[in-house]
Amino acid sequence: MRQAFGVGSMVCVALMTAAACTSVLGDFTVSEAGASSAGGSDACATGTADCDGNPDDCEVNLLDDPQNCGACGAVCLDGGACSATGCSGATEIARGFPSIEAPNANLLTVYQGEVYWTAGEGMGGSVQKVSVLGGAVTTLAVGQNAPYGIAVNQHGVFWSNLNDKDVLMVDRNGARASQVLFNSNFATLGVAADETAVFWAQRAAGIGTPGDGSLIGQILMPGEWADDEFLEVSDASPHLIALDQEHVYWVDRSLRGTVNQTHRQTRDTKRLADEQPFPYAIAVDDDHVYWTTSPRGDLSSDVSAVMRAPKGGSEDAVAVWTADEDDDVAHASPDCIAVDGLDEFVYWTDQGAPRVMRKLKDGTGRARPLYEGGTPRGIALAGGFVYWADESSGTIRKLPR
C-alpha cells in the first residue's frame, strides 16, 4: 500500500534537533560561534583559526598543528605530521559525539562537502554531520532508536531506525524536527538516495529469514507518497542497497543469499549472483556491482570475501578478495564497501582484523591495508579521500586514497 502521508505533509516525531553544536575535539573545544569552514573564526588570517572560542586571538596554525590540522579538532592519528596538504596519515575529523553511553558510529555517507552518519545502538541514537575538513559537529536528530542506514540528497537527510521500524527525514541543517516518511511493522535497514528518489530495504523477520513484509520501498522526490509496494520480496531477507540511474541493487542476507538488480521503472528483477554466504554491503560503479560476504557462526566451508559481478549479468560472480589470501589474519570479516568511477580500487572495512582495505577492482595484485586498528564500519569515497566510521569509539576518520 501507499502511506497516507507524503514528504510535503509528514507526521512529525517529537525529537529535539540542533542547528549547531559544540564538541570536544583534540585539545580544544570547538565553538560554533563565528565558525568558518575550517572550524574557526572568519576574522582569522588564512591558515590560522580561533579553536577555543576566545575572539581575542587566532591561536591555532592549521598548517602545522597535528591536533587541529586544516580545521579545528582535525587530529592527525598515530603520530602523523600536519602540513599545508593535511595529515601525513589518517585524520580523525569527529569523535564520540554526543552520546556518552553509546557513541557507536554506524553507517555514513558524504554529500557536498559534509559527512553524515548514524550513531548509537538503542534509544540514545543520533544522526550527525561534520565538514569533510573537520570542525564543529552538527546534531541533526537525537532520541533515535538504533539508527542504521543513511542517505542524503538536496531535499534532506534520510535514515532508518532499526528498532522503531521506520524511515525518517530531516533537513540538512537540522533546523526542523525529524519527520517520519514511513512506519513499518518490520525492521528497516539499508537506505539509498539520489536527487529523484529514496529507497529503503525492509525485512520481515530476523537475518536470513524471509517472509511477507520483506520489500524494497520507494519515495519519489519531492512531495510524493512513500510506496511500500515498489518491490515485494517475501522469499528473501533484504539488507543494504545501492543505486545507479536505472536500477536498485540489493542483497538478500541469507545463508545462501543473492545479489539482485531491480529496474527503477519496470521493477523487473534480475539475479546477478546466488549461493552467497550472508552478503552484507553492496556498491556499484559504471560497469560492476561489488559486495561483501561475512558468514555467521561455524560455516567452515564458506570464506569471507569481497565479490563482484557485471551489471548486465553476462558473467558469473568472481572473488576480488577472499579471507584465505591473508594467511596471517585469523578473523577477517569484511563489512561495508565503497567504489566509484574515478578509482581503479575497491575499498572495504574489515571488523575482524580490524582494518580498512583496498584492492584493484579486477582482483589482481595484493590487497593493501590502508589503516589498521579501531572498529571500522561504514565507509564512503569523496574527492581524494576515503572516509570511515569507527564503531566503538564513535569517531569519523579519513585518509588520502
- Cell matching residue 2: 501507499
Contact 357, 347 (CB under 8 A): yes
In order, the DSSP letters of 158-216 are: EEEETTTTEEEEE-TT--S--EEEEE-SSEEEEEEE-SSEEEEEEESSSTT---TT-EE
Residue 31 in any domain: the answer is no
Whether the predicted model's global pTM rises above the 0.85 cut: yes
Domain span at 167: 2-17+91-400
Residue 36 in any domain: the answer is no
Residue with cell 520481515: 204
CA distance 290 to 352: 20
Closest C-alpha among 163, 168, 175 to residue 200: 168
In this prediction, residue 369 has a pLDDT band, given cuts at 50, 70 and 90, of very high
Residue 269 in any domain: the answer is yes
Strand order across the 138-144 sheet: 105-111, 114-119, 125-131, 138-144
Q: Which of 52-66, 286-300, 323-337 has the highest mean pLDDT?
A: 52-66
Closest C-alpha among 67, 64, 42, 68 to residue 55: 42
Q: What is the pLDDT of residue 17?
A: 30
Closest C-alpha among 331, 330, 329, 364 to residue 346: 364
Residue 358 in any domain: the answer is yes
Name the strand (E) or helix (H) holding 91: strand 91-94
In this prediction, residue 42 has a pLDDT band, given cuts at 50, 70 and 90, of low
Three-point CA angle 247, 311, 349, nearest 5°:
90
Strand order across the 385-390 sheet: 75-76, 91-94, 395-400, 385-390, 376-382
* pLDDT tens digits, 273-296: 999 999 999 999 999 999 999 876
* pLDDT tens digits, 219-236: 999 877 899 999 999 999
Residue 46 in any domain: the answer is no
Number of domains in the chain: 1
Residue 223 in any domain: the answer is yes
Q: What is the pLDDT of residue 57?
A: 85
State yes or no: cis peptide before 295, omega within 30 of 0: no
State the chain's maximal CA–CA distance in angstroms.
Answer: 65
Q: 3-state class of 324 per DSSP?
A: helix
CATH of the domain at 372: 2.120.10.30
Closest C-alpha among 243, 231, 273 to residue 256: 273
- Cell matching residue 266: 519496470
Closest C-alpha among 144, 167, 130, 160 to residue 23: 130
Q: Which of 1-15, 90-104, 108-122 has the highest mean pLDDT?
A: 108-122
Q: What is the pLDDT of residue 102?
A: 60
Q: What is the pLDDT of residue 38?
A: 54
Contact 72, 39 (CB under 8 A): yes
Residue 121 in any domain: the answer is yes
Q: Is the dihedral of CA 366, 368, 372, 377 positive or negative?
A: negative
Residue 157 has pLDDT above 90, yes or no: yes
Residue with cell 564500519: 377
Residue 51 in any domain: the answer is no
